[in-house]
């Protein structure tokens, strides 16, 4: 069995990315994907960025974070303010706006990570939930960005190409992170924090790193969203939004990047495809969350689920 070298793997990843891009791009220029579906593809890409980045904190670090929409909102608003108040050529202004969105969210991610060094589980979930609500409430009260009424006429710079390559970057960089010593350190904290420390891992440092990485991409996703819609409203970034991202993450599998991509795609398309029953989406979310909690906190329930799994235990 010959092993794939690092270089081959890198080339393969870049090749697949490019092929996927050309595939979508040609479908769009041939008109097979119309402008309505192009919008959905862009939304999928944004949701992929949100889900994969959340997976770093929730799936790999193992901290239930409920404030991802807060980071997204921060990135969205700051980048929108930037590109509305500055007049550069778009090809310079937009990447700068994305970067500023990411960096600002990252700064907030750093702040949020500090209490997480001492808290775990439910307490951490509450802190991140509170963070999301604080961001939304602050935005409601900022006159510059129109408060509850919304912030409009943001330049619509977001294109399929930008969104696709940023989603690809997020996915590939997350994958690299996970396979680096830093990523293994993050996963080891989820697995056993005491053993990680005993193995020489500065767990506080790596928790912060995970939060910073995760919030950076949430901020970038927010910036993409802002320049796609051209209009922002604080109400969009509520707890439901955070939970929507979390559900995508959970359904795709905690700690599974490929799963995140798939579930973000399915859960973005599904409500569009089933527009007439879109109201039930939140019901589905609620059910999924309840099932997840049962599995997580009531071990006897897991046994119940195992009944549905094919029996092939002997393998190990």
Partner 1 sequence: MDTSKVVLEVNDLGINFGGLRAVDSLDMVIHENELYGLIGPNGAGKTTVFNMLTGVYPPTDGTIKLEGQVINGKTPHEIAKLGIARTFQNIRLFKNMTVKENVLLSLGAHADYNFFTGIFKLPKFHAQELAMEDEAMRLLDVFELRDDSEKLAKNLPYGKQRELEIVRALGVHPKLLLLDEPAAGMNPQETENLMRTIDVVRKQFGISILLIEHDMKLVMGICEKITVLNYGAMLACGTPEEIQNNPHVISAYLGE
Nearer to partner 1, 48 or 129 (CB): 48
User: Binder to partner 1 among 73, 167, 177, 245 (CB under 8 A)?
Assistant: 177
Interface with partner 1 includes 173 (CB under 8 A)?
yes
CB of 179 to partner 1, least distance (A): 8
Nearer to partner 1, 33 or 167 (CB): 167
How far is Cα 17 from Cα 296, in angstroms, rounded to an integer? 35
CB of 144 to partner 1, least distance (A): 34
Interaction residues for partner 1, span 64-123 (CB under 8 A): none
Interface with partner 1 includes 299 (CB under 8 A)?
no
Interface with partner 1 includes 281 (CB under 8 A)?
no
Ramachandran area for residue 309 (φ above 0: left; ψ -120 to 50: alpha; else beta):
beta
Interface with partner 1 includes 191 (CB under 8 A)?
yes
End-to-end, the C-alpha distance of the chain in Å comes to 21
User: Binder to partner 1 among 116, 145, 188, 268 (CB under 8 A)?
Assistant: 188
User: Binder to partner 1 among 2, 6, 29, 308 (CB under 8 A)?
Assistant: 6
Interface with partner 1 includes 183 (CB under 8 A)?
yes
Placement of tokens 């001492």 in the chain:
118
How far is Cα 113 from Cα 204, in angstroms, rounded to an integer? 9
User: Binder to partner 1 among 65, 100, 209, 221 (CB under 8 A)?
Assistant: 209
Q: With CA atoms as reference, report the closest residue to 128 among 108, 114, 112, 144.
A: 112
Count the helix, strand and coil residues of the chain and give each as a percent rounded to the nearest 5. 80, 0, 20
Q: Which residues lie closer than 8 Å to 295 by C-beta, 6 or more apart?
A: 301, 302, 305
Q: Apex CA 133: angle with CA 50 and CA 209, to 5°? A: 45
Interface with partner 1 includes 215 (CB under 8 A)?
no
User: Binder to partner 1 among 159, 197, 231, 284 (CB under 8 A)?
Assistant: 197
By rule CB under 8 A, what string of x and - marks binding of each residue 7-36 to partner 1? Answer: x--x--------------------------
Residue-wise over 146-165: b if at least 16 C-beta within 10 A, else e?
A: beeeebeebbebbebebbbe
Query: Could you list the residues that contact partner 1 (CB under 8 A)?
Result: 6-7, 10, 173, 176-177, 180-185, 187-188, 191-192, 194-203, 209, 255, 316
């Amino acid at each position: 069995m010959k092993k794939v070298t690092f270089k081959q793997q890198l080339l393969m990843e870049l090749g697949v990315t490019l092929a996927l891009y050309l595939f979508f791009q040609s479908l769009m220029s041939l008109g097979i994907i119309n402008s309505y579906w192009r919008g959905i593809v862009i939304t999928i890409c944004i949701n992929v960025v949100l889900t994969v980045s959340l997976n770093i904190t929730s799936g790999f670090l193992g901290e239930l974070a409920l404030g991802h929409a807060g980071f997204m909102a921060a990135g969205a608003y700051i980048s929108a303010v930037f590109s509305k108040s500055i007049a550069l050529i778009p090809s310079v202004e937009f990447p700068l706006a994305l970067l500023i969105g990411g960096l600002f969210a990252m700064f907030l991610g750093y702040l949020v990570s500090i209490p997480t060094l001492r808290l775990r589980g439910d307490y951490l979930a509450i802190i991140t939930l509170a963070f999301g609500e604080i961001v939304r409430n602050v935005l409601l009260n900022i006159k510059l960005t129109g408060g509850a009424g919304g912030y409009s006429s943001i330049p619509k710079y977001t294109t399929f190409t930008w969104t696709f390559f940023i989603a690809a970057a997020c996915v590939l960089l997350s994958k690299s992170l996970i396979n680096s010593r830093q990523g293994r350190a993050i996963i080891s904290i989820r697995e056993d924090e005491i053993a990680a420390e005993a193995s020489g891992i500065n767990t506080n440092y790596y928790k912060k790193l995970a939060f910073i990485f995760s919030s950076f991409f949430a901020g970038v996703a927010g910036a993409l969203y802002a320049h796609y819609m051209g209009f922002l409203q604080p109400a969009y970034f509520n707890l439901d939004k955070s939970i929507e991202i979390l559900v995508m993450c959970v359904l795709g599998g905690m700690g599974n990047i490929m799963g995140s991509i798939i579930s973000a795609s399915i859960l973005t398309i599904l409500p569009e495809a089933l527009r007439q029953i879109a109201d039930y989406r939140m019901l589905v979310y609620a059910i999924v969350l309840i099932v997840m909690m049962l599995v997580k906190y009531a071990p006897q329930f897991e046994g119940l689920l195992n009944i549905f799994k094919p029996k092939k235990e002997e393998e190990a």
